[in-house]
Amino acid sequence: MKKRNAEETKALILSNAILLFAKSGYDGMRVDDLASISKVNKATIYYHFKDKSFIFETILLEMAKLILDEVTIKIEKATTIEKKLEAFLDAVIYIITTKRDLARILMQELALNSKNLSERAKEEFFKIIEILSTILEEGKKENKFIEIDPFLVHSMLIGSINYYYSMKEANQEETNKKFKVDFYENGASYIKDMVLKYILI
């Protein structure tokens, strides 16, 4: 078996930490469990990360960067304010639906009023809100959007998609049978359309 180098070990620890935080939340995640599933001792974990809170911060900073990078790429291609808003929503949806464990961690933290979120992580996530706020303000000035709180829009989008996909992943067969609900493969698109219809004048 090939021996892992330091960077590979660090990446493995981080990947397993994401799984554990998503499953058990911040308080429920134990470094002993992380060491066990990563097949390393605790000293190795503390060599790469000074403590559990630093691991958590690293994960959330990674998610903020993923969203910011995706938002920046998509918005740069948009030619109208409506397209900029749609690009922002598409970028957030892409990360939330493709990085499900990261999305679960974020929603757990938001439900706890961000009590475990470091100031640095808060600053990075606030950059995302600032981009949305700028788009909404510009759209309002152009008389294209209603006046609306950017935090509300962001919460509506992330909360609705997370709830929808969590329900789908956990109860699809049972829910379909009991309520005769067909889960849409492109459920995120329906949620995006609802948000757009609410904001657009």
> What are the domain boundaries of the chain?
1-49, 59-199
Q: How confident is the model at residue 171 (pLDDT cuts 50, 70, 90)?
A: low
Question: What pLDDT is stored for residue 172 in this prediction?
Answer: 59
Question: What pLDDT is stored for residue 183 in this prediction?
Answer: 52
Answer whether CATH 1.10.150.120 is correct for domain 1-49: no
Supply the pTM of this predicted model: 0.87
Question: What pLDDT is stored for residue 113 in this prediction?
Answer: 85
**∠ CA 153-156-64, rounded to 5°:** 75
b/e code 97-134 from CB counts within 10 Å (16+ = b): bebebbbbbbbbbbeeeeebbbeebeebbeebeebbbe
Mean pLDDT across 128-151? 96
Question: What pLDDT is stored for residue 114 in this prediction?
Answer: 87
Looking at the predicted structure, is the pLDDT value of residue 200 above 90? yes
Looking at the predicted structure, is the pLDDT value of residue 3 above 80? no
Mean pLDDT across 10-25? 96
What rounded mean pLDDT belongs to the chain? 90
Question: What pLDDT is stored for residue 12 in this prediction?
Answer: 96
163: Cβ contacts below 8 Å, ≥ 6 apart: none
What angle, rounded to 10 degrees, do the helices at 119-141 and 150-179 form? 100
Fold of 59-199: Tetracycline Repressor; domain 2 (1.10.357)
pLDDT tens-digit series, residues 74-90: 999 999 999 999 999 99
9 is written with which tokens? 């070990």
Q: What is the DSSP string of the chain?
A: -PPP-HHHHHHHHHHHHHHHHHHHHHHH--HHHHHHHHTS-HHHHHHH-SSHHHHHHHHHHHHHHHHHHHHHHHHHT--SHHHHHHHHHHHHHHHHHH-HHHHHHHHHHHHTTTTT--HHHHHHHHHHHHHHHHHHHHHHHTT-B----HHHHHHHHHHHHHHHHHHHHHHHHHHHHHH-PPPPTTHHHHHHHHHHHHHB-
pLDDT tens-digit series, residues 27-77: 999 999 999 999 999 999 999 999 999 999 999 999 999 999 999 999 999
Cα–Cα distance for residue pair 74/192, rounded to 1 Å = 15
Phi and psi angles of residue 200, each rounded to the nearest 5 degrees, phi first: -70, 140
